[in-house]
Amino acid sequence: MKGFLTALQFLTRITILKGLDTTGEELARSMACFPLVGFLIGCILVGVRLVLNMVLPSPLVDILVIVTLVVIAGSFHLDGFADTVDGLAGGTDREKSLSIMRDSRLGSFAVVGLVLLLILKVFALMEVPEEVKNRALLIMPVLGRWTTVQLASFFNYARSGSGTALAFTQFAGKKEYFISTLITVAIVTGLFLLQGLLILAVVAVSTFLFGLFFKKRIGGVTGDIMGAGCELSEVITLLLICGLFCR
C-alpha cells in the first residue's frame, strides 16, 4: 500500500498522506505500481468524460479530458518532454544537451513541441471511435507510465551527479519491471484482447528504441527523458487505436 501511495503522490497531484517520507530506494520500488496509478488516472478521465458528455458536444469533451490529464499529472511529464526537445534541438554534444535539459527555462523548440504534442493527442482522441474511447482512456496512461519503468529498468542514468531519475535507475530492477509488466498486460489485454497485445508490443519496442537512441546520444536516460517517453507512448497508444478501429 505504501508503494502505491508513493507512486500516486509522485506521479499525480493527488495527496493522500501528507509528509509521506520515502527513501530513494522506496521511490524506485514503487515503480511496480506505476501502471496501477495510470489505471486510476484513466478511471478519472473516463468519469470526467461520462459527466461532460451529458452537457457538452463530443469534441469539446475530448479537449477537456486531455486538460484533465494535464491537471492530474501536474504537467510533470510534459515538462520532461519540453526539456528533452530543447536538449535535442540545442545540444551539439552530450554535456550541452544535459545542461539544456536541466535548465528550467523553455526554449522555442520546447514550446513548439508541446503545442504539437497536445494538438496530436487531442485530435487523435477525437478520432478514436466512441465504442472504444473509454477503453482507450483507460490504457493510455497505463502504457505511458509503464514506459518509464522500462526506461529505468533497462538503461543507465545519463548524468554523473544527482537527479530525479537517479534513484529509479539505481534501484528499479527486474522485480519492479516484471510486476509492472504483469499489471500492464492484464489491463491492456483485458480491455483490448489480441489487439491489446499488438498495442503493448509496439509501445514496448518503441520505448526500447527510444532508450537506445538516448543511450547513444547522451549515455543513458534522465527524468526528463522518462517524462518524454511517457508522453510519446500515450500518443502512440491513441494513434494505434485509431489505426486498428477507424475503418
- pLDDT value at position 17? 66
How far apart are the C-alpha atoms of 118 and 246, rounded to whole Å? 21
CA 184 to chain centre: 13
How far apart are the C-alpha atoms of 104 and 79, rounded to whole Å? 9
Nearest to 141 by CA among 25, 205, 234, 28: 234
Distant-in-sequence, close-in-space partners of 70: CB < 8 Å, separation ≥ 6 = 78, 118
How far apart are the C-alpha atoms of 89 and 91, rounded to whole Å? 6
How far apart are the C-alpha atoms of 206 and 147, rounded to whole Å? 9
Q: Is 36 within 8 Å of 183 (Cβ atoms)?
A: yes
Total domains in the chain come to 1
Owner of C-alpha cell 506521479: 11
What averages of pLDDT result for each successive group of 10 residues across the chain (247 residues)?
A: 80 73 76 93 96 94 95 84 84 76 77 93 94 95 94 85 73 85 96 94 95 89 90 95 87
Q: Is 73 within 8 Å of 41 (Cβ atoms)?
A: yes
- pLDDT value at position 120? 95
As to burial, measured by CB atoms within 10 angstroms (0-12 exposed, 13-18 middle, 19+ buried), residue 115 is exposed
CA 67 to chain centre: 15
N-term to C-term CA, the chain: 42
- pLDDT value at position 132? 95
Rounded to the nearest 5°, which phi and psi values hold at 24? -60, -35
How far apart are the C-alpha atoms of 62 and 52, rounded to whole Å? 9
List the domain range (segments joined by +) for residue 190: 2-245
Q: Is 128 within 8 Å of 209 (Cβ atoms)?
A: no
- pLDDT value at position 20? 62
Q: Three-state SS for 33?
A: helix
How far apart are the C-alpha atoms of 159 and 71, rounded to whole Å? 29
